[in-house]
Amino acid sequence: MGDLPTLQALANISVQDDAEQTVTLAQYLGKRLLIFFFPKAGTSGCTEQACGFRDAFPQIEAKGALVIGISPDAPKALAKWRAKESLPYILLSDPEHRLADAFGVWGEKSMYGKKYMGIIRSHFVVDAEGKIAAAEVKISPKDSVKKGVAALLKDA
């Protein structure tokens, strides 16, 4: 999978989760993960992506895997959105986009002709050894859910 990081390589990057606890992705070594990056909590596309993973969560959990959502939003905004949408997995706050940079999903975007930097919607399936097993970058919310869940369940 090219230059994508392993979870071990991310051990020095700590962020806050939606409960304002400090975490690193390396602490999830030994678990299979579906990590998805989304631009902003509460927006329509991000809600579609997050709720799609929520709806597939029983299948994911049955295979012993976890889902982790990551965005630049503050922990309190993530907690509010997680509660509103009944998301059964943690959300991580990456305001300095250190994780997004590590995964190569912080980049130039364009809306209404205006260019700006932001999160490029994506997902990554991580195996129990901490290696990226599947990746999709610049993907629609619906396809992210469909392809991410299929890739995660295929290797189970």
CATH number of 104's domain:
3.40.30.10
Please count the structural domains in the chain.
1
pLDDT at 1: 46
Is-catalytic flag, 51? no
Q: Which residues is 70 bridged to in the sheet?
A: 37, 92
pTM of the full predicted structure? Answer: 0.94
Domain-located, residue 21: yes
Q: What is the C-alpha to C-alpha distance for residues 42 and 48, in angstroms, rounded to an integer?
A: 9
Would you say residue 102 lies in a domain? yes
In a domain, 146, yes or no: yes
Of 46, 50, 99, 120, the catalytic one is: 46
Residue 1 lies in a domain: no
Domain that holds residue 55: 8-154
In a domain, 97, yes or no: yes
Asked whether residue 3 is domain-assigned, the answer is no
Query: What 3 state SS string does 20-39 have?
Result: CCEECHHHHCCCEEEEEECC
Tens-place pLDDT, residues 38-91? 999 999 999 999 999 999 999 999 999 999 999 999 999 999 999 999 999 999
